[in-house]
Amino acid sequence: MTSEEANAIEEMTFEEAITSLDKAVRKLEGNTLGLEQSLAEYAKATQYIAHCQQQLQSVKRRIEQLKGITKSGVATTEIWEEPDDENQEPRSRKRKPS
């Protein structure tokens, strides 16, 4: 894969990358590509997957889960995190209602 192709993938939206991944998978499943072409499509597909995973992780960091409402009407939220360590607890914060 050329650096231009890699840069183009980095600029894609999540939806564009998913569509391109689907096309690459269809080409690979079609059994019409030669060995070198198959390897090139496979390399692109792995880049699309990595890009989508990176974008999903970025979105997860921005999502907050509502944990409850205090008696004074303040929303208690928790940032959505997947702890690396089972002993690690997600951070909580309080937010005034809008």
Per-residue pLDDT of the chain (98 residues; tens, 9 = 90+): 788 888 899 999 999 999 999 999 999 999 899 999 999 999 999 999 999 999 998 888 777 777 778 888 888 877 766 666 555 555 555 555 55
Please report the pLDDT score of residue 18 as a whole number.
96
> DSSP label at 90?
-
Please report the pLDDT score of residue 78 as a whole number.
77
Please report the pLDDT score of residue 43 as a whole number.
94
Please report the pLDDT score of residue 95 as a whole number.
52
Measured CA to CA, the distance from residue 23 to residue 41 in angstroms comes to 9
Write down the residue that tokens 């992780």 correspond to: 57
Ordered by start, the domain boundaries in the chain are: 3-61, 64-95
